[in-house]
Amino acid sequence: NENMETAVKCFKERILTPILYMLEYEDKVDFICFCDQNIKLKELNEVSGKLTDILGVPAEVIDIREFSESDRIEILKNAKLVYAEDPMIEQIFAASMAEDFNNSINKKREMLNRYMSTGSIYLQ
């Protein structure tokens, strides 16, 4: 789709990201990136507006770090990869998200074990 190519090009010109995913819904499009933490919300909103104009449907730019570990895994499973700086980036990124998810599960397991053995979730 020519509009999508234009949208991705516009995105890359304004926001530095090694990877960009897209989730399409009936009435909107979400672009999910891993962007520089120094980027301002104003810039993300401006890019969202430009993408909305290009695509003709509401578009939102979201940093993947705003999602929980389990939501990130769902994004990796369901979203379409529309840009990767390098072909290996997607694999490295997916491995990193899987590791974050496993770490989250392990922390919850440790907390439950601590609660079962001490009656408290806090370290004593």
Predicted TM-score (pTM) of this structure: 0.74
Q: Would you give per-residue pLDDT tens digits along the chain (124 residues)?
A: 788 899 999 999 999 888 899 999 999 999 999 888 888 889 999 999 999 999 999 999 998 888 888 888 888 889 999 988 887 777 777 777 778 778 878 888 888 888 888 877 766 5
The residue count for the chain: 124
Task: Give the DSSP H or E segment for 62.
Answer: strand 59-63
Q: How far is Cα 28 from Cα 40, in angstroms, rounded to an integer?
A: 22
Q: What residues contact residue 70 under an 8 Å CB cut-off, 6+ apart?
A: 101, 104
Place of tokens 């891993």: 34
- pLDDT score recorded for residue 77: 87
- pLDDT score recorded for residue 124: 57
- pLDDT score recorded for residue 27: 93
- pLDDT score recorded for residue 88: 78
- pLDDT score recorded for residue 123: 64
